[in-house]
Amino acid sequence: MNILKKLQEKSKSFTLLYVEDNKELRESTLLFLKKLFKNIDSAKDGKEGLEKYKSNAYDIVLTDIQMPKMDGLELLEAIKKIDPDKQTIILSAFDNKEYLLKAIEIKVDHYLTKPIDINLMAATLLSSIETLELRAEIEQQREIIIHQSRTSAMSDMLLYISHHWRQPLNTIALSTQSLSFIYELGELNQKYLNEHIATNMEMIKNLSSSLDQFRSFFVPSPHKSFNPFIAINEVVALLIDTFENDAIDISYSKNKMDAMEIYGDVNEFKQVILSILNNSKDAIDHLKKENKIDRGKINFIFKCNDKSIDIHIEDNGGGIAPEILHRVFDPFFTTHNIAHKKGLGLYIANMIISKKLNGTITLNNEEKGLRVAITLSLLSTPPCKLAHQ
Ligand SMILES: Nc1ncnc2c1ncn2[C@@H]1O[C@H](COP(=O)(O)OP(=O)(O)O)[C@@H](O)[C@H]1O
Ligand SMILES: [Mg+2]
């Protein structure tokens, strides 16, 4: 298919910003570009271009270099800082070494020289669009993998929840049956009944809220900001009873974290925490079976930096053998032989933290076990505060 036709077919759903200070050239090029792009804007210098970009986040930015107020390279540098994945094209009368080197340094995607060659420009725009399409496809695949893997992390959680539920259910069952005894003994009065109803209702409310929490993992949450400390607490609240029953203590270095906002999907973050806790439990259970430890310990440590926070999760499960440490982030790497443990936990955790939450996750063997260190950029300034409750 002819390049122009192909471009015309694909370009309709993409947005473009064209920045050029020469009025005649800008208007004549716009005439051509408007035949391709439905959503297109133009600007007469880099400064105006950047302002427009900030409110519209165009998919492709096509710009001249030499312009008043802010030149094209400065403009693209600023845009790449905001959105490194957008497509940027230079269209310049100059191809001197200095400009080219600067363009490479700021990772400009294409460099075209004037006078404009329509065919070359069309081929370049098509290549940019195809890159954007490919990226969107990868993004979509990533979403699918993350979502599917959640069910695996959830199977562990379902086991925990069923433990968590058994005890209050037993208590409610026992106290319900005991009513007829109390009645036969002639001791059933209003006071007893009220107390009975109050305690049972409290337990029922707790069960219902843990069910809601559990369910909320599956409901897609819109991307927004969240407080990681609260998110961690919500995950831990669901697991803590079962972990304690299995002689694993979960503790926090600090009790409360204020004014701390991270941008992203809270359920994805919770999935990461759940996978890390599952892994610590696996390692601890293993050491306990071998009688190497009596009690498991998992400790959360929070640290505030200027623009980021560190979350460390340490356990006493013995850590990871140094010879496999570099492989545990690989997909399908596992040392377990259990159907639903497929070696995806850390792979997905790394994907979520680095690609979705713009942070880092590293693993280190400490004296007694593994330390998972997560660093996340904060949305909010002033920086977060740590406080004892
Ligand atoms: N806290 C930990 N302590 C010891 N080993 C761990 C820990 N976390 C992860 N691992 C190791 O890393 C491997 C990969 O973990 P993961 O990606 O979650 O997959 P899976 O749990 O399905 O095996 C585990 O099989 C285990 O050998
Ligand atoms: Mg795991």
Q: Give one DSSP letter per residue of 4-27, joined into a string.
A: HHHHHHHHTT-EEEEE-S-HHHHH
Provide DSSP, 281-299. Answer: HHHHHHHHHTTS-SSEEEE
H/E stretch holding 374: strand 370-377
Which CATH superfamily groups domain 140-387? Histidine kinase-like ATPase, C-terminal domain (3.30.565.10)
Best CA proximity match to 161, nearest among 238, 267, 243, 48: 238
The per-residue pLDDT for 389 is 41
The per-residue pLDDT for 359 is 95
Quote the CA–CA distance of 283 and 168 in Å, as a whole number: 28
- Relative to beta strand 370-377, strand 308-315 is antiparallel
H/E stretch holding 308: strand 308-315
Among all bound ligands, the one having the nearest atom to the CA of 336 is: 1
Q: Which residues of the chain have pLDDT under 70?
A: 1, 220, 223, 254-259, 380-389
Tell me the best of 282, 300, 332, 347 to mutate to test the pocket of ligand 1, counting ligand atoms within 8 Å of each CB and taking the most. 282
Which CATH superfamily groups domain 3-116? Response regulator (3.40.50.2300)
H/E stretch holding 387: strand 385-387
Q: Helices marked H in the chain — which ranges?
A: 3-11, 23-34, 46-56, 72-82, 97-105, 118-184, 190-216, 228-245, 266-289, 322-325, 345-351
Quote the CA–CA distance of 230 and 20 in Å, as a whole number: 48
Report residues whose beta carbon is within 6 angstroms of any ligand 1 atom.
275, 279-280, 283, 315, 317, 319-320, 328, 333-336, 341-347, 370
What is the distance in A from the centroid of ligand 1 to the CA of 366?
15
How many Cβ atoms from other residues are within 10 Å of residue 169's Cβ? 14
Tell me the best of 152, 328, 362 to mutate to test the pocket of ligand 1, counting ligand atoms within 8 Å of each CB and taking the most. 328
The per-residue pLDDT for 375 is 96
Token pair of 258 as six digits? 């204020």
Quote the CA–CA distance of 50 and 72 in Å, as a whole number: 10
Token pair of 45 as six digits? 């210098």
What are the phi and psi torsion angles at 81 (to 5°)? -70, -40
Q: Contact 117/99 with Cβ under 8 angstroms?
A: no
Token pair of 151 as six digits? 């069910």
Token pair of 193 as six digits? 């009944």
The per-residue pLDDT for 51 is 94
Give ranges for CATH 3.40.50.2300 in the chain.
3-116
Quote the CA–CA distance of 106 and 46 in Å, as a whole number: 15
Under the phi-then-psi rule, with left for phi > 0, alpha for psi from -120 to 50, and beta for the rest, what region is 18?
A: beta
The per-residue pLDDT for 385 is 64
pTM of the model: 0.74
